[in-house]
Chain A
Amino acid sequence: MAIPKDKMLEMLHSLLLSRRFEEALTELCQVEGKIPGMMILCTGQEAVGAGVCAALRPGDVIITNHRSHAHLLAKGADPKVLMAEIYGKRTGCNKGKSGTLHLALPEIGAPCTSTVVGAGPPMAVGRAFAQQYRGEPAVTVCFVGDGATGEGSFHEALNLASLWNLPVIFVCENNCYAGAQRLEEHTRIENIADRAAAYCMPGVVVDGNDAPAIYTTALDARARAAAGQGPTLIECKTYRWRGHGESDPQHYQPKEEIAAWRARCPVARMREAVLALGLISTDDLSAMETKVDALVREAIRFAEESPYPEPREALEDVYA
């Protein structure tokens, strides 16, 4: 079944936007004192957010983690409020409380972001439980890294989601590394998707740099979840182009390995696919790229011109 044109273009736009957004962040991190805290990028992995979120409907929820930019942009986050939050500004989506590591936008269906590895799955169980409890037609997606599947919380959550047939899709973004550890240094399992078997749910492996393939896989999982047939574990095999964070010298990542994966760039592949299918003209593609570039510039301008929070605003937004 061919993917509708508007979905293909939606994914293309989302890929271009995430890539540009993060390229800008890489540059901004070079400027001393501009971007506070750690900077964790998903450059090279953008197809996962783009493909999965394109399969979602309004009302669906995503729970993401420390490597969230592509997920959030694909879910429809305004680049301005993300950028402002990353800068630590008052106009950021979380008023400067979060910074880049736990960007949460409940208003677009992206609540409960956590930088605690493995924390997403149990909360996704709760979010999906609420959808089932209220009889909503919606589903919850939980993005985790390969490393997160080493946490007990991941396994408890999959078991419970399976037991209760909850409408949740666990998406494991296997980028070959957890911190400085290669996959084979933290688990004997070759395919994270195989973990699904232990919980009697489907486990699907998909090319994590192929947005349309991810979209199709997510669409199936969404249909299952929404039909009350329970959760799915999707493993997207991809690669982390950058270090764990921007200060990571990547001394443990072989240069040839990085180069090989760069050659499988998910953005370039999507661009070629839509052009080959004749879904967009080269002129319209350049126009889209120019527009994306303008969006990112505008986000940076907005962030730079926004004020920092007043120190005492630290006391707001907490109970008790």
Chain B
Amino acid sequence: MPQLTVGQALNQALREEMTRDDTVFIAGEGVGVSIHDNPMLPTAGLLRDFGPRRVRDTPVSEAAIAGLAVGAAEAGLKPVVEIMFNPFFTLASDMIVNHAAKLRYLSGGKSAFPLVVRIKSGAGFSAGCQHSHNLEAWTAHCPGLKVVMPATAADAKGLLKSAIRDPNPVVFFEDMMLYFAPGPVPEDEYLLPIGQADVKRPGRDVTVVTWSRMLGVAFKAAEQLAAEGIDLEIVDLRTLAPLDKETVLASVRKTGRLVVLHEATRTGGFAGEVAAVVMEEAFESLKAPLRRVTGPDIPVPASPPLERFYIPDAEQVITAVKDIM
């Protein structure tokens, strides 16, 4: 299987879907001509290869970008629009939250909005809290949206292709720190169903439910704990909405212990939802209280030592695991 980075895998997914379906088009800030000029980025080369009809650089106008997607989707096009950094989702949010998510319902099921909003996310590049702020829990809180947040190159490809073909609006979070992370990626028609979690590491003692870039942190913790004879099972959620309860519950029923790990802040974070589902449906399987490992309840600071303090690390996962062993 060819090795691709997450950025290249996303690029391949976009290319394949654009080639397959003329109704797919791309819009956003810098999706055509970019200040980065980097072949590893998801939209690299698309303007050159698909032309300005299909690849649209927009003004700095997030509300219009998201609205473009909503209107065009209703007309049967398949917009894939990009929000440059996660915090700017707030500017697009009226169109996504009040419109993409609700207009199908408001129409009594007559209209459909098959659009994808790609949101570049994550911390780790010292730009501070107006560039780094993971808001996936906000979007998962909105009925009518599917929310996808992949961690590996193969998942990124398979899920983006499915997102583009999905008849629902899909919010697709891409952690920018993963863009350069390589992994094996199946060629051609590789589609992964949205709404399926994946057991990335089977284990016996403690379930770690995580997603996106924190998958790597979970693996690091698992390696260190394995040396001490503690066997983690790692469940990569991949999709937050719809939530794959079955995979999470099956794992917790097996291990009896749960840690939920995400980079986003704690209060109101999606770990709370995972925890609630487990408490409601697998309480009797738990041998110990569950633990959350998350970013602290602060905006992401810019200075490197402060930012490192913000981002959850393997040490914190290990502490949480040992706490409940």
Query: Which of B61, B88, B301, B309 is close to A150, meaning CB atoms less than 8 Å apart?
Result: B61
CA A166 to CA B244, docked complex, whole Å: 53
Evaluate whether A99 and B88 lie within 8 angstroms (CB atoms) in the complex, with A38-B127, A252-B33, A311-B309 already known.
no
Asked if B298 and A99 make an inter-chain contact with CB atoms under 8 angstroms apart, the answer reads no
CA A260 to CA B228, docked complex, whole Å: 66
Asked if A117 and B87 make an inter-chain contact with CB atoms under 8 angstroms apart, the answer reads no
Query: Which of A36, A147, A180, A310 is close to B126, meaning CB atoms less than 8 Å apart?
Result: A36
Q: Which residue of A lies closest to B267 (CB)?
A: A320
Q: Which residues of chain B come closer than 8 Å to A308, judged between CB atoms? A: 303-305
Asked if B303 and A97 make an inter-chain contact with CB atoms under 8 angstroms apart, the answer reads yes
Evaluate whether A310 and B305 lie within 8 angstroms (CB atoms) in the complex, with A99-B127, A101-B130 already known.
yes
Asked if B305 and A309 make an inter-chain contact with CB atoms under 8 angstroms apart, the answer reads yes
* B-contacting residues, A283-314, CB 8 Å: 308-314
* A-contacting residues, B104-138, CB 8 Å: 125-131
CA A37 to CA B124, docked complex, whole Å: 9
CA A116 to CA B299, docked complex, whole Å: 15
Q: A185, A187, A311 — which one has the most chain B CB atoms within 10 A of its CB?
A: A311
Asked if A89 and B302 make an inter-chain contact with CB atoms under 8 angstroms apart, the answer reads no
Asked if A179 and B131 make an inter-chain contact with CB atoms under 8 angstroms apart, the answer reads no
CA A318 to CA B297, docked complex, whole Å: 9
* A-contacting residues, B282-325, CB 8 Å: 296-299, 301-310
Evaluate whether A245 and B35 lie within 8 angstroms (CB atoms) in the complex, with A37-B302, A96-B303, A320-B297 already known.
yes
Query: Which of A101, A252, A313 is close to B128, meaning CB atoms less than 8 Å apart?
Result: A101
The yes or no answer to A4 lying at the interface (CB within 8 A) is no
Evaluate whether A185 and B57 lie within 8 angstroms (CB atoms) in the complex, with A101-B131, A116-B88, A318-B298 already known.
yes
Q: Which residue of B lies closest to A118 (CB)?
A: B60
Nearest-neighbour CB distance to chain A for B87, whole angstroms, equals: 7
The yes or no answer to B229 lying at the interface (CB within 8 A) is no
Q: Which residues of chain B come closer than 8 Å to A98, judged between CB atoms? A: 128, 302
Asked if A314 and B59 make an inter-chain contact with CB atoms under 8 angstroms apart, the answer reads no
The yes or no answer to A186 lying at the interface (CB within 8 A) is yes
Nearest-neighbour CB distance to chain A for B99, whole angstroms, equals: 15
* A-contacting residues, B129-184, CB 8 Å: 129-131
Asked if B127 and A178 make an inter-chain contact with CB atoms under 8 angstroms apart, the answer reads no
Q: Which residue of B lies closest to A187 (CB)?
A: B59
| Proximity string of chain A (150-172) to chain B, C-beta cutoff 8 Å, 1 when within and 0 when not | 11110000000000000000000
| Proximity string of chain A (194-234) to chain B, C-beta cutoff 8 Å, 1 when within and 0 when not | 00000000000000000000000000000000000000000
Nearest-neighbour CB distance to chain A for B18, whole angstroms, equals: 21
The yes or no answer to A272 lying at the interface (CB within 8 A) is no
Asked if B35 and A314 make an inter-chain contact with CB atoms under 8 angstroms apart, the answer reads no
CA A263 to CA B109, docked complex, whole Å: 61
The yes or no answer to A115 lying at the interface (CB within 8 A) is yes
The interface residues of chain B, by DSSP majority, are classed as loop
Q: Which residue of A lies closest to B304 (CB)?
A: A36
Nearest-neighbour CB distance to chain A for B38, whole angstroms, equals: 9
The yes or no answer to A181 lying at the interface (CB within 8 A) is yes
Chain A interface bracket (under 10, 10 to 19, 20 to 34, 35 or more): 35 or more
The yes or no answer to A127 lying at the interface (CB within 8 A) is no
Q: Which residues of chain A come closer than 8 Å to B87, judged between CB atoms? A: 116
CA A147 to CA B88, docked complex, whole Å: 15
CA A309 to CA B126, docked complex, whole Å: 14
| Proximity string of chain A (113-141) to chain B, C-beta cutoff 8 Å, 1 when within and 0 when not | 01111100000000000000000000000
Q: Which residues of chain A come closer than 8 Å to B310, judged between CB atoms? A: 314
The yes or no answer to A243 lying at the interface (CB within 8 A) is yes
CA A250 to CA B298, docked complex, whole Å: 35
The yes or no answer to A244 lying at the interface (CB within 8 A) is yes
Asked if A36 and B303 make an inter-chain contact with CB atoms under 8 angstroms apart, the answer reads yes
Asked if B130 and A152 make an inter-chain contact with CB atoms under 8 angstroms apart, the answer reads no
Asked if B303 and A309 make an inter-chain contact with CB atoms under 8 angstroms apart, the answer reads yes
Asked if B60 and A117 make an inter-chain contact with CB atoms under 8 angstroms apart, the answer reads yes
* A-contacting residues, B10-41, CB 8 Å: 29-30, 33-37
The yes or no answer to A315 lying at the interface (CB within 8 A) is yes
CA A309 to CA B305, docked complex, whole Å: 7
| Proximity string of chain B (35-69) to chain A, C-beta cutoff 8 Å, 1 when within and 0 when not | 11100000000000000000001111111100000
Q: Which residues of chain B come closer than 8 Å to A187, judged between CB atoms? A: 59
Evaluate whether A314 and B302 lie within 8 angstroms (CB atoms) in the complex, with A38-B127, A102-B128, A115-B131 already known.
no
Nearest-neighbour CB distance to chain A for B112, whole angstroms, equals: 26
Asked if A314 and B128 make an inter-chain contact with CB atoms under 8 angstroms apart, the answer reads no
Nearest-neighbour CB distance to chain A for B124, whole angstroms, equals: 11
Q: Which residues of chain A come closer than 8 Å to B128, judged between CB atoms? A: 37, 97-99, 101-102, 115
Q: Which residues of chain B come closer than 8 Å to A320, judged between CB atoms? A: 297
Q: Which residues of chain B come closer than 8 Å to A58, judged between CB atoms? A: none
CA A244 to CA B33, docked complex, whole Å: 13
Asked if A314 and B127 make an inter-chain contact with CB atoms under 8 angstroms apart, the answer reads no
The yes or no answer to A88 lying at the interface (CB within 8 A) is yes
The yes or no answer to B230 lying at the interface (CB within 8 A) is no
Which A residues fall within an 8 A CB radius of B? 36-38, 88-89, 92, 96-99, 101-102, 114-118, 147-148, 150-153, 178-181, 185-187, 243-245, 247-249, 251-252, 308-315, 318, 320
- Nearest 10 A-B pairs (CB), nearest first? A96-B303, A99-B302, A88-B303, A150-B59, A37-B126, A311-B309, A36-B126, A186-B59, A314-B306, A248-B35
List 18 extra interface pairs beyond A88-B302, A96-B301, CB under 8 A: A36-B302, A98-B302, A101-B128, A115-B130, A116-B88, A118-B60, A118-B91, A147-B60, A178-B59, A180-B34, A181-B57, A181-B59, A186-B60, A248-B35, A314-B309, A314-B310, A315-B296, A318-B299
Report 5 cross-chain contacts, Cβ distance below 8 Å, ordered by A residue: A38-B127, A89-B303, A92-B303, A185-B57, A309-B305
